[in-house]
Structure 1
Amino acid sequence: MPYDDELAERIRSAIAAEPGVTEKKMFGGLGFMVDGHMAIAAASDGGAMLRVDPESSADLLARPGVTPMEMRGRAMTGWLHLDPASVATDESVAAYVATGVAYVRTLPPKGRVADL
């Protein structure tokens, strides 16, 4: 199942003012990258995947609909899954976008290796 186009558009609107944003289709979803780091993605299940500071993820995990992101049965440190209900409003999407962007802004920008 492809990602939710309406959710992707709401994420796009919330992140539009940020410099250095690119979009990349991956894992059946649509990732929103900031300086090469994925901040948030519209997931194939109608929810979202959020990049967070691993040290502060406990507060977010206490919210309804927020769970650790798992890939192949393993929890991914620094990544959370937001169920569709938790990103149902423009306000919730904007808040989660701000959280993801704030964290990836603390990371060094990813550069591209020149073609040899």
Structure 2
Amino acid sequence: MACGVHKNDLIVRVGAAKYEEALSRLHTRPFDMTGRPMAGWIMVEPPGCATESDLKAWVEQGLTFARSLPAKEK
């Protein structure tokens, strides 16, 4: 999974290496639905993905990370 939507926020899987960098951007926060942040995942509030170019950049970042993972065995 690369990204998704929870309520009004975009959820993006950025991976451990890009996690702090992603959190340094405006309108982001750790992805935390259970009281414990999920490693490598962030939430982007609506203002952070309000333009088409912002949304595209976040989705591409999630896809890039997801494609870097090894294939799952069937």
TM-score after normalising by structure 1: 0.60
Q: Which structure has the highest strand share of the two?
A: 1
Alignment of 1:46-57 (within 5 A): 46-57=8-19
- Residue in 2 aligned with 1:77? 39
> How far did 1:111 drift?
4.0
Other-structure match for 1:87: 49
Percentage of pairs with the same residue: 31
Amino acid at match of 2:3: I
Tell me which amino acid in the other structure corresponds to 1:90.
Answer: E
Q: Residue in 2 aligned with 1:107?
A: 69
Moved over 6 A (4+): none
Deviation at 1:57, TM superposition (A): 1.1
CA distance, structure 1, for counterparts of residue 36 and residue 45 of structure 2: 18
Residue 59 of structure 1 and its aligned partner are, at CA, apart by 1.0
Structure 2's unaligned 5+ residue stretches are none
* Structure 2 Cα separation of the partners of residues 42 and 111 of structure 1: 26
The structure, 1 or 2, with the larger RCO (C-alpha pairs under 8 Å, 6+ apart) is 2
Query: CA RMSD, aligned part only?
Result: 1.1
Gaps of 5+ in 1: 1-37
Computing the radius of gyration from Cα coordinates, the structure with the larger value is: 1
1:72, 1:56 → 2: CA distance?
22
- Report the TM-score, using the length of structure 2 for normalisation: 0.90
Instruction: State the SS of the aligned residue for 2:21.
Output: helix
Per-residue deviation, 1:67: 0.7
Answer yes or no: is 1:39 the counterpart of 2:28: no
Give the structure with the larger helix fraction.
Answer: 2
Q: Deviations over 1:71-90 (max 9, x none)?
A: 21111101001111111111
